[in-house]
Structure 1
Amino acid sequence: MKTKMKQLLALLLVMLWGGQIDAQDDLKFTLAEAQDYALTNSYVIQNSGLDVMAARKKVWETIAMGLPQISGSANYTKNIDAAKSPLPVAIIPKDFWDELGIPDDTPADGTYPISFAQKFNSDYGFTVDQLIFDGSYIVGIGSAKIYLQMATQTKEKTEIEIKHAVAQSYFMVLAAEENLQVMKENLANSQKLESDTRAMYDNGFSEEQDVDQMRLLVQKAENEILKAEREIRVARMVLKYTMGVDVESRIGLTDSLDGFINPLLRQKEEIGGFDYTSHIDFRLLDTQRQLSMKEFKLARSAYLPKINGFYSWSKIAYGNSGNLFKSSVPWFRSSMIGMNISVPIFTSGQQMAKVKQMQFAYQQAENEQKLAEQTLQKDYLTAVADVESAVDQFRNDVDNKQLARKIYNKTTIKYNNGISSSVELSQTETQYIQAQGAWVASVIQLLNSKITLDKAIGKL
């Protein structure tokens, strides 16, 4: 029985362990896969997509304003106290006085208030309106299409920003994990030194101060590991947030740092011109310029006449009975067709002032586009220089890290042979940790400078 229970427990542990492995392997990403995932699941991207869909509906809304508009109406009215008009009694035959409630002593040359309205009335009908000419409508259709173009380009820019943010976060995680691995190796080395020093102290070949110094090295290494683990947690949280992954999910990164760094060290960025007209920032400003031009034309179109056509059809019935829908009640039909023309004549300069404002706004948009040409060129040249500086800095920090590690290893050997002191060993270890930290910073700077260059070119 005990054997079966042990087998069952072993099976459950295998299943649980297998489930944990599967859970950990649920989400694994290369950088490209992480960026694609973000473009689908990021809430920012989803909102940009909704903006594009709304802009498409705005285009149709504008177009529909120039199409036939049909409206229907129906009314049912009971006159509680109908309006009356004074009527000379001389024109009313004497036989109708009692029916109309005219007193018999009313002077023949006098008047009496009479209501011509019946107690109930009802009507129904429809009206068709058709825009024939409106300059603002023609301009408005073009403006709506430009708004759609701007929404689409804004979504494209958002996608670029998201991919840039994902890449930055991805590199942060890789660098933090690489740093953690180095810190773990350093901790293992410090723990061995502490153990060896304690053994020497127990045998009378070392001082208690040396043991304490080695313990400080171990504690420092442990603190560096805790710091590195916190950095990984934060970097992973930022990456998941940027990608749109649930913060409780586990993700794995399958790309390596060397896969990103080595190509940058082998190639040299050639400085040259690039097609800034294809850059998303330039295209957005060009769209803004086009929109400003449309708004300028829209303001000028207010001087043009507006022409609308209409057709109206209705039926109406009257009666003193509440039921106007019985067959004995006649319904009278009416219809009309017509045209309305509105021509602006004088606005005391109000419209002229508006036209001038739109003209100035268009000139500003042109100036901003010209400025963008210079800005994009400047950003490109700056990004190239930053990549070159980052490569030089990285190589320098790699050399410093290797040199610091070499000094630390030699000092460790000297310490083990009684040639170097524990204080000197502690100093060289601190120097090595600082060199490792500088290397991590240079890795992040190098990779970020590359994606900044890609963004400046418009490749990302």
Structure 2
Amino acid sequence: MVFSWQFNFAQTQPEAVSLEEAIAYGEQNNRNIQKASMEIKKAYKDQWSTIAIGLPQISASASYQNFIELPTSLIPAQFFGGNEGEFAEVQFGTPQTMTGGVTVQQLIFDGSYIVGLEASKIFLMISENIFEKTLIEVRKNIVNTYSSVLLARENIEFLEQNKENLNNNLKELNQLFKNGFEEEESVEQLRLTLSGVETQLRYIKNLERITLKMLKLMMGFPTDSPLFLSDTLEKLTNESLFKMEIPKNLSLSNNIDVKIAKNNLLSETLLYKYERSKGLPRLSAFLNGNYTGNSETFSFTESEQKWFGAALFGINLQIPIFSSLRRSVLTQKAKISVSQAENDLTETQERISIEVQAAENEYKLAVENYFTNKENLALADRIQQKNQTKYFEGVASSFELREAQLQLYNAQNNYIKSIQDVIQKKVSLETLLNISKQ
């Protein structure tokens, strides 16, 4: 069952994690997952609380009374041999009284209780759905963030290589300029390109640190503790990333939004039954036993104190007769809610079906773009190298070299983005289908 996670898994912090290990760690330690798991525990307690309503209820009571002055009653004096029409003043009882008793109550029949038992099960299922949805979102976010860190590091490698090449070119160009073989404008253009690469490199390095901290946060890992990512971008971009077949007759019943919509329909149906059950009678029984002690002084703790017992058994029957149409109106309202829930379920099923088709189409497009951008990157790299050679041979102009360099940088960015796009589109499709490698 999806809610049976325990949190003792993460008592020791790993120094390095693969993507699968990061997901497993996050499933145990992500705070949102822990909160959702606690909601399931609360739902279990609510279910038992509902069950307990139909079980025997035992309560005890005790009371102590001390009359500062006993009440006086008027009784016809003729009862005591007096004159007719006159009244005698009489005080009954003792100044101090103590009573203790136990009452047992048992519900025999209540239509709303039966519905409540069913509703507690549905509420538990809804809590499980929320947990599952949270789990799916955490998995999705960890995959995307883990890959974003690796992509940022790949981008850093590209930029550092570009920076090194530009620095080498700038040294050669400066020497040519000093010897009078090159114009100052060419040097300035190269410096401008280098400055842009350095700025982008600083930004990507900061982004990589921030993204890594975000990954730690999603995993429930201390953000200030070191964490090494053992997987490489090459491992993530293996053959399985670009192959995902979806059966034509695939059932969407496993989609979490469909599950939630189904349980919402069950919940509204039970609410409708609950409103109808209010017209049924309620039958309960009770048994009461108590002891009473009377005394002139506080002598209830003494062994000579006399106690007088009493016991009572009874049955209560409540029959709703007329509520000025209130029950009827509430029942009709609940029935309308059932119809709304049915429409919501139908709309959700159709929407998810379309979203799956759209996600599949976007995933296939992302895969095609990846291979196209991969080829473009290799092509742009060859073009830049040729133009660099031509430039220092005096065949190509500085403008042509700069254009080739910018084309290479753009191809690198497109390549990085295409990998990220494939990963995100595949994860989104897996999320809709509620499938994963785990």
TM-score, scaled to structure 2 = 0.90
What's the counterpart of residue 276 of structure 1?
252
Q: Write the letter of the residue equivalent to 1:71.
A: S
1:113 Cα deviation (Å)?
A: 4.5
More displaced, 368-377 or 443-452?
368-377
What's the counterpart of residue 234 of structure 1?
210
Matches within 5 A, 1:278-427: 278-427=254-403
Q: 2:41 aligns with which of 42, 53, 57?
A: 53
More displaced, 302-311 or 202-211?
202-211
What's the counterpart of residue 14 of structure 1?
none
Q: 1:31 aligns with which of 13, 19, 32?
A: 19
What's the counterpart of residue 440 of structure 1?
416
CA contact (8 A) 2:254 2:433 kept: no
Residues 453 and 341 (structure 1 numbering): CA distance in 2 closer, same or farther, change over 3 Å? Answer: same
Pair 1:82 & 2:48 matched? no
Q: CA–CA distance in 2 between the matches of 1:203 and 1:280?
A: 71
Q: Write the letter of the residue equivalent to 1:458.
A: N
What's the counterpart of residue 72 of structure 1?
60
- Structure 1's consecutive aligned runs of 4 or more residues displaced over 6 angstroms after TM superposition are none
CA contact (8 A) 1:276 1:457 kept: yes
What's the counterpart of residue 182 of structure 2?
206
SS of the residue corresponding to residue 253 of structure 2 reads helix
1:112 Cα deviation (Å)?
A: 5.4
Q: CA–CA distance in 2 between the matches of 1:271 and 1:260?
A: 24
What's the counterpart of residue 6 of structure 2?
none
SS of the residue corresponding to residue 231 of structure 1 reads helix
- Greater C-alpha Rg: 1
For structure 1, the 5+ residue unaligned runs are 1-24, 95-106
Q: Write the letter of the residue equivalent to 1:73.
A: S
Pair 1:137 & 2:125 matched? no
Pair 1:41 & 2:17 matched? no
- Deviation track 1:196-220 (CA, whole Å, cap 9, x = no partner) reads 2223334443344433333333322
Q: 1:183 aligns with which of 139, 159, 165?
A: 159
1:78 Cα deviation (Å)?
A: 1.1
1:256 Cα deviation (Å)?
A: 2.6
Q: Write the letter of the residue equivalent to 2:168.
A: K
For structure 2, the 5+ residue unaligned runs are 1-12
Between the two proteins, what is the percent identity of the paired residues? Answer: 28
RMSD: 2.2
CA contact (8 A) 2:242 2:367 kept: no
SS of the residue corresponding to residue 186 of structure 1 reads helix
Q: Write the letter of the residue equivalent to 1:206.
A: E
Give the count of matched residue pairs.
424
SS of the residue corresponding to residue 303 of structure 1 reads coil
Q: CA–CA distance in 2 between the matches of 1:406 and 1:199?
A: 25
1:272 Cα deviation (Å)?
A: 1.6
CA contact (8 A) 2:63 2:99 kept: yes
Q: CA–CA distance in 1 between the matches of 2:317 and 2:171?
A: 100
